[in-house]
Amino acid sequence: MMAMESVTSMTSTLTSKPTLNPALRSFWTTRARNKVLYGGRSSSKSWDAAGIAIFLSNKYTLRFCCARQIQNKIEESVYTLLKIQIDRFGLRHRFRILNNKIINRVTGSEFVFYGLWRNIEEIKSLEGIDVLWLEEAHALTEYQWKILEPTIRKEGSECWFIFNPGLVTDFVWRNFVVDPPEGTLIRKINYDENPFLSDTMLKVIDAARRRDPDGFKHVYEGVPESDDDAAIIKLSWIEAAVDAHKTLNFEPSGRKRIGFDVADSGTDKCANVYRHGSVVFWADEWKAKEDELLKSCQRTYQAALEREADIVYDSIGVGASAGAKFSEINADRKSENAYARRVNYQRFNAGAGVHEPDDEYNGIPNKDFFANLKAQAWWLVADRFRNTFNAINNGEQYPVDELISIDSRCPLLEKLKLELTTPHRDFDRNGRVMVESKKDLAKREIPSPNVADAFIMAFAPIDTSLDIWEQLGRQA
């Protein structure tokens, strides 16, 4: 984007009179495709980014795209910060400050401002961007990044991610801090490296530390939260459940079952999750077309055979035909060898009525507490995770069939953690709990949690009187 000597000179120049945070000098003078600057509040992140952007735009001809998730009006962007820095460095005569952009009169540098939520397609058509400045970048979604990344294609261009961490499950945290791509420079900064804080603000920060130590770590020390309060299943519960059967010393025993989530759209994927009693050992996910249902059923069937497990499959949409496919496979095996083992399979209809409707959950009849079978299944799995967390961390005692464990060798473990913590609690019009719908997940630009759905099906309460062998016995 510019010669390194000039950038170094620039940071030295800014140390006279109005200046930027010297703690960030090496961050700004190091070349990198992705620059990630995160930390707690009052740490000078956005202030410094605005100052460096004004200096660069006053020295070189650059085009900045300043974006954030929601921007209903220009004042909600970094527009105001940039104006403050222009005045602070005495450069008002060098810039034209318009209603929707800022232009340097001498270099021709330009700042444009966009809200990602409403304008992502418009941003895709932008040309010649030198710097993409993503403010409050923790809210960036994977879908948005897939559009933005190839848009910022100019030689030497940079992407700045400026944010206070939100959740450990956020896309930016996972993909630019925990597992960053090559060419990424990461810098964490907190209030204790900000030399410009007033005594008043330091007192406010100290009071926050004493009042709420845990909240202080998140707000002022830039520690992301592990648990989303709206989530049905908390990440901290899942983390505690990894190898819980070893920690709590219980063996896998009981029913062996594979949950099978059937892909129901062009972008959706099929998924399997296998559990033996209270322990999950294996997961699988694959792309399959709608006309490849038989192949997916054969894949699941083979996995069940190898593990001597039953299958519980999603019977809505494309999956409605899965039962017939399993029946065909069983019939073929019987015709080849009358004694060959066949697989027991049962359907799971997420929208069906609840299991044992008159039994009570927390003192309320199931039919009055849960909106449907899906909600009941998710809540019962959440209870297992919570119980396991309390057993490990608080020494509480529970029967093994009220606990849950995920073997640390389970494939797709990290994806399972992410997907199981994704759906939020919701309520129907009668006040019964339900799981956030796929349509509402899509509004948050979150894909269907296929592996998590298969996981839930593996533990779903199902009427065993629907056993396929009983059905076959009646047909014989």
Residue 464 banded pLDDT, cuts 50, 70, 90: low
pLDDT at 330 over 90: yes
The pLDDT, as a whole number, for residue 159 is 98
pLDDT at 434: 98
Whether the per-residue pLDDT at 143 is higher than 60: the answer is yes
Is the alpha carbon torsion for 27, 28, 32, 37 positive or negative?
A: positive
Ramachandran category for residue 389: left, alpha or beta (phi over 0 → left; psi -120 to 50 → alpha):
alpha
pLDDT over threshold 90, residue 339 = no
Q: At which residue do the structure tokens 């997907």 appear?
A: 419
What does the domain layout of the chain look like in residue ranges? Answer: 4-219, 235-475
pLDDT for 473 equals 44
Cross-strand partners of 312: 259, 346
pLDDT of residue 214: 84
Rounded mean pLDDT of 416-434? 95
> Is it the case that residue 475 has pLDDT exceeding 50?
no
| 4-219: CATH superfamily | P-loop containing nucleotide triphosphate hydrolases (3.40.50.300)
* Burial of residue 245 (number of CB atoms within 10 Å: 0-12, 13-18, 19+): buried
pLDDT (average), residues 245-266: 92
> What confidence tier does 14 reach under pLDDT thresholds 50, 70, 90?
very low
Average predicted confidence (pLDDT) for the chain: 91
Which pLDDT score is estimated for 1? 55
- Calpha distance 386→383 (Å, rounded): 5
Closest CA to 106 of 54, 52, 158, 157: 54
Q: Average of pLDDT values for 277-292?
A: 92
Residue with tokens 């801090």: 177
160 pLDDT more than 70: yes
**Is the pLDDT higher at 70 or at 347?**
347
Give tens-digit pLDDT for 73-121: 677 789 999 999 999 999 999 999 999 999 999 999 999 999 888 778 8
* 405 pLDDT higher than 90: yes
Least confident of 7-21, 89-103, 294-308: 7-21
- For the domain made up of 235-475, the CATH class stated in words is alpha beta
Question: Is the Cα dihedral 9, 11, 15, 19 positive or negative?
Answer: positive
Contact 326, 302 (CB under 8 A): no
pLDDT at 9: 42
On the 0-12 / 13-18 / 19+ scale of CB atoms within 10 A, 347 is: buried
Query: What average pLDDT does range 310-339 have in this prediction?
Result: 93
CA angle at 103 for the pair 99 and 106, rounded to the nearest 5°? 150
pLDDT at 290: 66
Give the whole-number percent of the chain exceeding pLDDT 90.
79
Same fold for the pair 4-219 and 235-475: no
